[in-house]
Amino acid sequence: MRLNDFRVLTFDCYGTLIDWETGLTAALRPLLERADADAGDALERFAQLENAQEAATPGMRYPELLAEVHRQLADQLGASMAEEAHARFGASVADWPAFPDSAEALQYLKNHYQLVILSNVDRDSFAASNARLGVAFDAVYTAEEIGSYKPDLANFRFMLDRLAERGVRKDDILHTAQSLFHDHVPAKQIGLASAWIDRRHDREGSGATAPVEGAKYDFRFTSLAEMVRAHQAELATSQP
* Residues catalogued as catalytic: 12
Q: First-to-last CA distance in the chain? A: 20
| Amino acid at site 84 | E
200-224 core/surface letters (b: 16 or more CB in 10 A; e: else): beeeeebbbbbeeeebebbbebebb
C-alpha to C-alpha distance for 85 and 97, rounded to whole angstroms: 20
Q: Is 230 left (phi over 0), alpha (psi -120 to 50) or beta?
A: alpha
C-alpha to C-alpha distance for 204 and 46, rounded to whole angstroms: 17
